[in-house]
Structure 1
Amino acid sequence: MITKETINKELTVGQLAARSGVAVTALHFYESKGLIKSNRNQGNQRRYPREVLRRVALIKVAQRLGIPLVEIGEALKSLPDHHAPTAADWKQLSAQWSNDLDERINQLITLRDKLNGCIGCGCLSMEACPLRNYGDVLGERGPGAQLLEPGNPKHR
């Protein structure tokens, strides 16, 4: 029988790991990054409110979509601390990420469409390769390693 006491009971890190399918070390990492929060009992052991289960699920789905943890953390800051994310919360967050996902999908389609050109190039020419250094723009930035995603300020 499910009681109010059972529903309100906090989870140990092991219970949270088992229920969420996420390793204990990952949960500790999420907590260190401020993505989830725990309380401490009298023995200084972590105890997680049940709503953290849904936050962890949201984190894992967002990660699977390729959303960086920094962006996930920023998005989670827009939600109240002590409630499980709702369908409306997810709708809000997914709307924020939708344009980024569309952009990445378009980049992947372009990459796929230009991939066959690498066979002809053979060397991934640093001056002419349309995938690696189109128009030799990186050479103009100076020596050393250069980022390869022009136009995307997140990757500069």
Structure 2
Amino acid sequence: MPLDPARQGLTIGDLSERTGLAPSAIRFYETHGIVAPLRNAGGHRRYARADIRRLSFAMAAQKLGLPLAEIAGHMAGLPADRAPSKADWTRIGTEIRALLDARIDALTRLRDNLDGCIGCGCLSMETCTLWNPDDRLATKGTGPRLVLRD
């Protein structure tokens, strides 16, 4: 990522002030590939201004429940040689929207079936609408299919 020649990039303190993250948290995000600072002649990290947005996006996505590895995977496609464009962010947003929609659907099903499950005591893997609707697990064989995850 090109650095601002007038400032030679942002220091970790500058980035910390702009994002509200502690320097240790910024270094943590760095280890996960969210930001990739350059080093100046003295070996100090220097961040591009675009890293403010990258970190802000990662923090927002984590608040939505996305794991950091998944966020980093989406961000890996962002250009390293320039600030991401609106089209770059739109592409990532579209991908994440599909994941969020699937999670919303799953949470809605959980919410709608939970009241019949709490305290019912049925322990029936054949009739449980929450864990085994329509006895789908029967096609996978016998035994603890949910534990085996095959």
TM-score (norm 1): 0.73
Q: 1:98 deviation in Å?
A: 1.8
Q: Tell me what 1:10 maps to.
A: 9
The amino acid of 1:137's aligned partner reads: L
The amino acid of 1:83's aligned partner reads: R
The amino acid of 2:75's aligned partner reads: L
**Partners of 1:66 and 1:147 in 2: CA distance:** 25
Corresponding residue pairs, total:
143
Mapping of residues 70-109 of structure 1, within 5 Å: 70-109=69-108
Change (3 A) 1:97 1:147: farther
Q: Which runs of 5+ in 2 are unaligned?
A: none
1:96-142 CA-partner distances (Å, limit 9, x unpaired): 12221111111111111111112341x47373544355549399574
Change (3 A) 1:21 1:124: farther
> What percentage of residue pairs aligned between the two structures are identical?
39
1:28-69 CA-partner distances (Å, limit 9, x unpaired): 111112221111223322221222111111212222232322
Q: Tell me the SS of whatever aligns to 1:91.
A: helix
Q: Tell me what 1:19 maps to.
A: 18
Change (3 A) 1:108 1:79: same
CA RMSD after TM alignment: 2.9
**Partners of 1:84 and 1:147 in 2: CA distance:** 44
Mapping of residues 35-74 of structure 1, within 5 Å: 35-74=34-73
Q: Tell me what 2:147 maps to.
A: 146
With a CA cutoff of 8 Å and minimum separation of 6, indicate the structure with the bigger relative contact order: 2
Q: 1:72 deviation in Å?
A: 1.9
Q: 1:74 deviation in Å?
A: 2.1
Change (3 A) 1:73 1:118: same
Q: Which runs of 5+ in 1 are unaligned?
A: 149-155
The amino acid of 2:32's aligned partner reads: K
The amino acid of 1:64's aligned partner reads: K
The amino acid of 2:110's aligned partner reads: L
**Partners of 2:67 and 2:148 in 1: CA distance:** 17
